[in-house]
Amino acid sequence: MSGDTFYDLILSFLTPVESCFMSETRTPQWHRISSLPMIATHIDEMLEEAVEQLTLLQEAIPKPYVLDDYTVNRVVKVFTTQQNDLWLFDEQLQRWGTTSLTSNQAQEVARLVTQMKRVRETVSNILVLANDLKEQTIEKQLAKSDLQVGLESLLKSPPKPKS
């Protein structure tokens, strides 16, 4: 995978997601159970995109220099914002859970509670990894002296032979 392609893929996942819960005044807009399919789609897509973003960041671990400061900082900003808004989905699901639901609705709400746990865990892993990668971006590598880069290269464990 080339650096440009990797960079483009990372940026493609960083478009802000409008919350279906918040109005312009940032007051939560709680939904009726009839919105369950919309919220389910949103949660499922949020998890899918977070897993894909985590996978892309994991691919950068052996070559973090393909990332620049802007990209890594943007990942941190976007996913910190998302992490701070996850409570809205949890609260919506909890509110629905206290109402009279059909068995299908109850099953779907339970599934989404599990999905939200996975979203929370994945977003947390993204933030940990992005913060680790932040110290190894191309700008950080270019700021090092040739001697420092050479020493770091020599002190790394030898690469494992390919089978």
Hey, what are 15's tokens? 């478009």
- Please compute the mean of the pLDDT values over residues 107-115 and round it to a whole number: 98
CA dihedral 45, 46, 48, 49 (to 10 degrees): 110
- Structure confidence at residue 23 as a pLDDT band (50, 70, 90): very low
32-61 pLDDT, tens digit per residue, is 999 999 999 999 999 999 999 999 999 988
Q: Is the pLDDT of residue 16 over 70?
A: no
